[in-house]
Amino acid sequence: MAASATQPLAVLFACGLNAVRSPIAAGLFGQLFGRTIYVGSAGARKGELDPFAVAVMAEIGIDISRHKPITFEELEDLEGLNFDLIITLSPEAHHRALELTHTNAVEVEYWPTADPTGIEGSREQRLDAYRAVRDQLLKRIRERFAGRRPVNE
């Protein structure tokens, strides 16, 4: 999808448990755009931060180890759902985002993203699945927000 003519001021990444995909996406986005665009992440349900997600982000110098998974409802209670754009990474999160925003002027985009937690095999094979998700999200973020200049380039 091409970048919108107007770029959002606040972006929320959402997935099923806010434990793998959305924290990775938010970490990548924050690294690329710093404080120029506010970024958050949430889940349809709350899980536990996945250590493989932390490991593959550490490989590229991004620390997400302090991330605390949160649901849409908890986020709404804490700071509100004041986002211009919600990018959903799982069907469950997409449906939840549409339910929560049907009366708001919030753009919701669905980026189908594989869940690497179901991959079995050696530690390295499992890490490869998480790396693939990380790299796919990085590519999508760069493509979607091409009009924005990354802070570290």
List, for residues 46-70, the tens digit of each pLDDT value: 999 999 999 999 999 999 999 999 9
114-146 pLDDT per residue, tens = 999 999 999 999 999 999 999 999 999 999 997
> Helix (H, G, I), strand (E, B), or coil: what is residue 142?
helix
What's the mean per-residue pLDDT of the chain? 90
3-12 pLDDT per residue, tens = 444 688 999 9
Rounded-to-integer distance, Cα 116 and Cα 132, Å:
9
Mean predicted confidence (pLDDT) in 106-117: 96
Residues 60-96 as b/e (b if ≥16 CB within 10 A, e otherwise) read eebebeebebbbbeebeeeeebebbbbbbbbebbbeb
> Helix (H, G, I), strand (E, B), or coil: what is residue 121?
coil
| Residue 153 reports pLDDT greater than 60 | no
**Over pLDDT 90: what percentage of the chain?**
78
| Residue 151 reports pLDDT greater than 70 | no
Q: What is the pTM of this model?
A: 0.90
Mean predicted confidence (pLDDT) in 96-100: 91
Q: Please report the pLDDT score of residue 152 as a whole number.
A: 46
23-50 pLDDT per residue, tens = 999 999 999 998 889 999 999 999 999 9
Q: What angle do CA 114, 118, 121 make, to 5 degrees?
A: 120
Rounded-to-integer distance, Cα 23 and Cα 49, Å:
8
Residue type for position 149: R
- Of 40, 47, 45, the closest CA to residue 106 belongs to 40
